[in-house]
Amino acid sequence: MTRAGQVARLRPRAERSDCDTGDRPRDCRARRARQAGALAVTALDALLLLAALGGMRALLGHTRALALLAVWAVGGIVLALLRPVRCTSPWR
């Protein structure tokens, strides 16, 4: 564990910054908004693939396109759930 992680763990919960705690309601709303954004981008990708392949029947019949959409959706949601590598708070 790094020195910063040890110090953050020793500080009382009230003194921790937003980057140290993940269970605040504001953080939950932000996380849900990022997930919804990731799904919206995946829906836009699906529409572009639908137009490129020539219709819904062609998209549903193309297994690699469906697999690509699934990977994009899972990757987008995972990236939306992850915390930043470092704190981006301007007050640090």
Confidence of residue 70 (pLDDT cuts 50, 70, 90): very high
Q: What is the mean pLDDT of residues 40-69?
A: 92
Cα distance between residue 92 and residue 87, in whole Å: 8
Per-residue pLDDT at 69? 93
Greatest pairwise CA separation for the chain in angstroms: 58
| Bigger pLDDT: 84 vs 45 | 45
Please tell me the pTM assigned to this model.
0.59
